Chains A and B, each alone.
Chain A
Amino acid sequence: MSIWEYANPKKFIATTTPLVPWVLGVAIACLVVGLFWGFFLTPDDFRQGSTVKIIYLHVPAALMAINAWFMMLLASLVWLVRRHHVSALAARAAAPVGIVMTLIALITGAIWGQPMWGTWWAWDPRLTSFLILFLFYLGYIALWEAIEDPDTAADLTSVLCIVGSVFAVLSRYAVNFWNQGLHQGTSVPVATGERTISDVFFVPLVICMVGFGLLFLALVMVRTQTEIRVRRMRALEMRMRS
């Protein structure tokens, strides 16, 4: 019994199919509770007013945008080392979800920034690195779409994902060096454990983060299943034609 058992597509589908409704259900429940709590039951911030409430969409989306790339990096490494097709397909399945998360973070940030900073967009390190992350996602997805042979596509996108990760980190520090920030630091530093956000806002925020994480998981599982079935259908078609 090892985790690699789930690299078998059949086993993967058999295991995830009953899991998806549960994960999706819990995700939706978390999001409904978290967003409702955040939007209607928390007080307005005394300086930011009601605009502070966009944090419940912005922060979890930004969190998942980065974690989706990490997941793709891990899946790519697993594909290159162990050649499990499900792994490559999971990386492919995660990319569009990740790019949507990046977009949500960018757009909600712009909506929040307009009344707060008086501008939709500033060339701030965090904002800029997210835009660059968006471009990396675009390139990755475009490369998947451009190559017809699935194994070649999986190999090349994996290499791109690894090189891209190095350059994404490099860009993050380069951008920091390039311009001073307008964006506030994190309110929930994981390393030090001290937070500058009051419990009233923090509890619904954590619920939203969990909700976004589970939503990502459910979407990736469903999309991976779809990819496996598309692959199967193509194989069947080839067999029927020959």
Chain B
Amino acid sequence: MIALLRRDLTLAVRAGGGFGLGLAFFLIVVVLVPFGVGPEAAVLSRIAPGILWVAALLAALLSLDRIFALDFEDGTLPLLATSPLPLEGVTLIKGIAHWITTGLPLTLAAPALGFLLNLEMSAYVWLLASLALGTPALSMIGTFGAALTVGLRRGGLLMSLLVLPLYVPTLIFGAEAVRRGALGLDATTPLLMLAGITLGSFALLPFAASSALRVNLR
């Protein structure tokens, strides 16, 4: 399992594209928002939690179709499926690898972008905490969506249609935690819910994803 994780990470870093692309996309979305809503600091600081979360979510979505597509094309995926490693473990590792290559950099970059949007000082801790707790769920749900659509041509667009509604609870609790942090309120409840969603999806979604993969490899 560790070997597979290391292989996926090396591929993601060396093959280029996916690793930096998500971050660049995150930056561009955040930069575009002030052009859309105007430069007033008060408005920006009010919508900053939501913008940061939606932008992180879209950036995570962008690289989802790479989770299985490359392995599917060059035939690695059938090999993984027949290897002694259970397919549930493979999907779990794929989700974790996706998080390390997109979710983790997004989390670390978010505070810097918070300055651009004039986020309240009290919200930075909650922003980091909520993204760190929430982006793993985004990766795992996305792995499930990628597993559903792996065999399809033009699967990317369909996958975003399938995955985005599943992101709703994560987005709500994540943005709510930051918003409460910005207002100086206690944000532990949404954070706990967020952690619950993440743990739940890591516990259950590998089974759903690997059953979808088995159907697609049939």
In the complex, residue of chain B having the shortest beta-carbon distance to the beta carbon of A154 = B215
Task: Decide: A156 and B165 in contact? CB cutoff 8 A.
Answer: no
Task: Decide: B176 and A178 in contact? CB cutoff 8 A.
Answer: yes
Which residues in window 53-89 of B have CB below 8 A to A?
none
Number of interface residues of B (CB under 8 A): 28
Q: Which of A138, A142, A174 contacts B168 (CB 8 A)?
A: A174
Question: Given A143-B162, A174-B193, do A152 and B172 touch, yes or no (CB 8 Å)?
Answer: no
Shortest C-beta distance, B213 to chain A (Å), equals 10
Does more than half of chain A's interface fall in helix, strand or loop, or is it mixed?
helix
Which residues in window 182-220 of A have CB below 8 A to B?
none
Encoded as 1 (CB less than 8 Å from any B CB) or 0, chain A from 141 to 185 comes to 011001100001001100110111011001101110110000000
Task: Decide: A142 and B158 in contact? CB cutoff 8 A.
Answer: yes
Does more than half of chain B's interface fall in helix, strand or loop, or is it mixed?
helix
Shortest C-beta distance, A189 to chain B (Å), equals 25
- The answer for the CA separation of A163 and B147 in the assembled complex, in Å, is 13
Q: CB of A63 within 8 A of chain B?
A: no
- The answer for the CA separation of A175 and B165 in the assembled complex, in Å, is 13
Encoded as 1 (CB less than 8 Å from any B CB) or 0, chain A from 74 to 117 comes to 00000000000000000000000000000000000000000000
Task: Decide: B166 and A163 in contact? CB cutoff 8 A.
Answer: yes
Q: Which of A142, A152, A160, A170 contacts B151 (CB 8 A)?
A: A152
Q: CB of B122 within 8 A of chain A?
A: no
Residues of chain A lying within 8 A (CB to CB) of residue B118: none
Question: Given A143-B162, A147-B152, A156-B216, do A163 and B169 touch, yes or no (CB 8 Å)?
Answer: no
Task: Decide: B172 and A174 in contact? CB cutoff 8 A.
Answer: yes
Q: Which residues of A contact B (CB under 8 A)?
A: 132, 135-136, 138-139, 142-143, 146-147, 152, 155-156, 159-160, 162-164, 166-167, 170-171, 173-175, 177-178
23 intermolecular pairs with C-beta atoms under 8 Å apart:
A132-B168, A135-B161, A135-B165, A138-B161, A139-B162, A146-B149, A147-B152, A155-B212, A155-B215, A159-B148, A160-B162, A163-B144, A163-B205, A163-B208, A164-B165, A171-B168, A174-B169, A175-B168, A175-B172, A177-B173, A177-B176, A177-B193, A178-B172
